[in-house]
Structure 1
Amino acid sequence: MSGPRAGAFAYPWDVDGDPAAPGLLADLGLAQVTLASAYHSTRALTPRHPAHRIVTAEHAAVLYPPDPGRWAGRPLRPHPAGEWAPGDSFGRAAEALAATGLQVHSWVVLAHNSRLGAEHPETSVVNAYGDRYPWAPCIGRPDVRALLVDLAAEAAARPGAAGTELESCGWYGLAHLHAHDKTGGVALGEREQYLMSLCFCPSCREGYGNEGADPGELAAAVRAALAPVWAGSGPAGGLGALEAPTAAWRAGTARTFQEAAVAAVRAAAPAGFRVLLHADPDPYRCGADSGTDPAHVLGLADGVVARPPRVADFAAHARPGTVLAANLSVVTGMGGAPGRLAHDIGLAHEAGAGELRLYHAGLASDEDLAVVRAALRKLG
C-alpha cells in the first residue's frame, strides 16, 4: 500500500548541535521536515539531544538573525532568540537536514506573540469585557498587519527552505493555553470561544462600525449572549442583527491579511516555492489553524495543513496541484496515538490528503518514533 508523502515538524534546537538527529529523522521514512523559523514562547522537551533535555524559549522569536535593514526604526519588529536558538539556528539545522536528503520547509507562527503584547499592549486583542489577550496580536490593526506580513516574507523564504507553512495566519483569540492556564473552570464550546475571541480594540470597533454595527451595542450583546454560560444555565445565545456585520468584518479582515501574507512570501521567495496555510474551514475559528473560506484560500495558497476531520472540507475545493496535508499527532504523552497511525493515515488519504504532517518529531519519545518508523515503512 502506498501512502501519502510524509513530513514531520521539528524545532531547530532538536537538530542543531545533535549530529545524530538528521539521520534519525531521515530513517523514519520522511520526505520533508517542517522546521520552525519564527515561533512563540514555549517550554519543550528534547529527549535525545546530547546537550540538553528542556529548552525554554522565553519569548516569541525568529530563529535566525533578522534583517536589520528591514526592521530599522520600526517600533514593532521581531526579536532574535536567546541562548535557546542562538544566531542562525534555523540555517544550521536546515543545512544538516538537507545533507540527508530531507526537504526543509519553514514553519512560521504569525498572530501569536506574547512579547509583542507585553511590550506594546495596544496591539492585542481586547474582548467584550475589556480584557486584553497579550498573546494574540489583532490583525485588524494596520501596524500589526504590517509587522506580520513582513515577518511572513522574511521568516518563510529562508535559505535552504523549499516551501513554508504559515501558522496563525488569521484571527487569534482566547484559546491559547497561556502560562499556568486556569481558564477551564467553565466549559467553553466553539460558539463561546468565538464570542470570547471577538476583538474590541479601536481598529476593530471602527471596522464593526463600517459594517453597520455599533461597537458598544455589539460588546453589550456579546456579554448578554455569554451571561447564561457564566451562570451555568445554558449555552451562549446569538447576537441577533449584529451577527452578520460582525462576521463580515472578521472574515474580510482575515481574507485580506491572508492575501497580503501569501503575496509577501511569493515576492520574497524563488520560483517553485510552496506556500501552505495551517487552516480550518470554519470561518469563525481562531487560533493556530485559522478560519478560512476553503475556496478562497485554495485559490490563494498552494494548499493547507489541516486536522484530519477538516481535510474533506478543503478537498471539495481542491484544484490540480493543490496540497492537502493532514496534521496527525504522534506524541503519546500529548494525547497522540502513534499506534493508530496506519489507520489514521488511511482515513486521511480517503478524505483527500496527499501529504502528512506528524506532530512532532522532536518532542516524541524513542518508543513513539519506533512505532512511526514501522507504520511509514509498512505504507511504503
Structure 2
Amino acid sequence: MRASTFVYPWDVVGDPDAAERLAALGVRQVTLASAYHSTRALTPRHPARRVVTARHAAVLYPPDPVHWAGRALRPYTQDWAGGADAYGTAAEALRAAGLPVHSWVVLAHNSRLGDEHPDITVRNAFGDRYPWAPCVARPEVRAYLVALAAEAAVRPGTDGTELESCGWYGLAHLHAHDKIGGVPLPGAAQYLMSLCFCEVCEAGYAGLGADPRELRAAVRTALEPVWTGGWAPGPDEWADVEKLLGTDLAALTLDWRTGVARDVQRAAVEAVRAAAPPGFRILLHADPHPHRAGANVGVDPAHILALADGLVLPGTDHLAVCAPHARPGTVLAANFPVVAGMGGSPRTLAADAARAAALGATELRLYHAGLASDTDLDAVRDALAALSAGG
C-alpha cells in the first residue's frame, strides 16, 4: 500500500538532509502542512533547533491579498516556520528527493480567529464560547473555510490535499493546558457539550420545529447526571445521546448539524476542484459517525465518498463501515500514530497495515515523521520494507 507521512514545513526548511531522510523511510508521498493550528513541536533532528512554537493558527505560505480582498475573516501569517513561504520551500525540497507532496489543511480549528471574533464561535448550552471552534453554520465562517480550502490546498507543485476539521469542531481542543478531565465526558456527553446555540444555530433549530430556549434547557438537564457521576455510558454512543436528550430532540439536532456539515464539505470540495488541475486528489480526515466533531469530522460515508476522492481514517476501526461505499479509485487511508512517546506503535506497523488492508484500506498515513525519534523511524523503515517485499 502507498504510504505517506505527515510533516511540518519546519521539519524540512533549514535541514538539508531532511527530504532524503524521509525518502529513505520508504514512504511514497509526504502530506505537508500548509494551514495549521497553534502547537508546540519537537524537531529532534534539525541542525539549528529543537522546539518550534506556533503561537497561533496560520497559513505556512504567503496568502494572496486578491483572494482575500473584502472578506471579513482572513488567515493569519507566521514567522516561525522558516520563511514566509515555508510550505513552498519544503515542498520543493521534497519533490527534488522524489516525493510527491500533498497539502494538509486544517480548517475549523483556530483559537486566534475565535479570540478576535468571538461572535463566530460555537456557544454551548450553558453560554460558554469555544474560541478554538468557529461555528460552521455561520455564513461568514463557511465563506472563510471554503476560501481557505481552495487556497491552502492547491499550492504550486502539490498533487492533492487532505482537509482536516472540514466540518463541526466542538468541546475537544487537543491543545493548551486542558483541565477538563476531572469529570469523564464520553462520546454522548461530548456531543451534547459540542452543540452550538449561537443565533444562527438557534434559528436552524427553530426552522426544524424546536424552541431554542427549550432545547438549550433540555441539553443542560440531560447533562446533569454526567456532572453528578450518576450516568454510565452504554456500548452505543448515539443511543446514549437519545437516552439523555430524548429521541426526537436528538434527531433534530443531528439533522441540523448534518445538513450544515454536508453543505460546508460540498462547498469546500467544489472550491478545491475549481482551483486545482485535473487529477488533483481531495481527501477528508473523517469519522464515519455523523454526530462526531473534531479534527476527524463526522461524515456520512455514502455522501462524502460521492464528493471527495477518499477519506483518512484513524486506525482500522472505521474501515469496515466505509469500504462498502468505495468506488473505483476511492482512497481509504488508515492513519497510524508511529511516535512511541505519543502513544504510537511503530513496531506493530507491518501487522497493523496488513489488518487495515484486509478491512479495505488502500493507503497508509503515518503520524508523524517530523516528531518521531530515530528509533521510531528505524521501525517504520523496517515495516515499510517488509510490506514492500511482501507485495
Instruction: Please give the range of the TM-score, normalised by the shorter of the 2 chains.
Output: over 0.9
336, 342, 345: which one pairs with 1:337?
345
Question: Aligned AA for 2:8?
Answer: Y
Confirm whether residue 74 of structure 1 aligns to residue 58 of structure 2. Answer: no
Equivalent positions of 1:41-60 (< 5 A) are 41-60=38-57
Aligned residues of 2:269 and 2:282 also touching (Cα < 8 A): yes
Structure 2: how far apart are the matches of 1:314 and 1:165?
17
Equivalent positions of 1:1-380 (< 5 A) are 4-235=1-232, 237-240=243-246, 241-307=248-314, 308-380=316-388
Aligned residues of 1:56 and 1:84 also touching (Cα < 8 A): no
TM-score by length of 2: 0.95
Question: Aligned AA for 2:381?
Answer: R
Aligned residues of 2:332 and 2:360 also touching (Cα < 8 A): yes
Aligned residues of 2:223 and 2:244 also touching (Cα < 8 A): no
* Unaligned residue ranges in structure 2 (runs of 5+): 233-239
Structure 2: how far apart are the matches of 1:178 and 1:272?
35
How far did residue 85 of structure 1 move?
Answer: 4.2
CA RMSD of aligned residues (A): 0.9
Structure 1: how far apart are the matches of 2:141 and 2:126?
22
How far did residue 316 of structure 1 move?
Answer: 1.3
Q: Output one character per residue of 1:295-341: Cα deviation in whole Å (capped at 9) or x when no partner.
A: 00000000000012112211111111101100000000100011111
Aligned to 2:235: none
Structure 2: how far apart are the matches of 1:156 and 1:366?
30
Structure 2: how far apart are the matches of 1:73 and 1:292?
31
Structure 1: how far apart are the matches of 2:47 and 2:192?
46
How far did residue 102 of structure 1 move?
Answer: 0.5
Structure 1: how far apart are the matches of 2:6 and 2:264?
25
Q: Output one character per residue of 1:203-224: Cα deviation in whole Å (capped at 9) or x when no partner.
A: 1111111111111111111111
Question: Aligned AA for 2:61?
Answer: Y
Q: Output one character per residue of 1:263-304: Cα deviation in whole Å (capped at 9) or x when no partner.
A: 000000001000000011100110010000000000000000
TM-score by length of 1: 0.98
Structure 2: how far apart are the matches of 1:108 and 1:181?
24
How far did residue 379 of structure 1 move?
Answer: 1.0
**Deviation larger for 66-75 or 36-45:** 66-75
Structure 2: how far apart are the matches of 1:379 and 1:100?
21
Structure 1: how far apart are the matches of 2:185 and 2:321?
24
Question: Aligned AA for 1:326?
Answer: A
Helix, strand or coil at the partner of 2:33: strand
Helix, strand or coil at the partner of 1:106: strand
Percentage of identical aligned residues? 67
Aligned residues of 2:110 and 2:133 also touching (Cα < 8 A): yes
Q: Output one character per residue of 1:23-69: Cα deviation in whole Å (capped at 9) or x when no partner.
A: 00000000000000000000000000011100000010000000001
Aligned residues of 2:72 and 2:140 also touching (Cα < 8 A): no
* Unaligned residue ranges in structure 1 (runs of 5+): none
Aligned length: 377
Question: Aligned AA for 1:284?
Answer: H
Aligned residues of 1:63 and 1:85 also touching (Cα < 8 A): no
Structure 2: how far apart are the matches of 1:83 and 1:231?
44
Seen in structure 2, the aligned counterparts of structure 1 residues 85 and 121 have a Cα distance that, compared at 3 Å, is: farther
Q: Output one character per residue of 1:159-208: Cα deviation in whole Å (capped at 9) or x when no partner.
A: 01100000000100001134111000011111111000000011111111
How far did residue 366 of structure 1 move?
Answer: 0.5
Structure 2: how far apart are the matches of 1:327 and 1:206?
37
Aligned residues of 1:213 and 1:246 also touching (Cα < 8 A): no
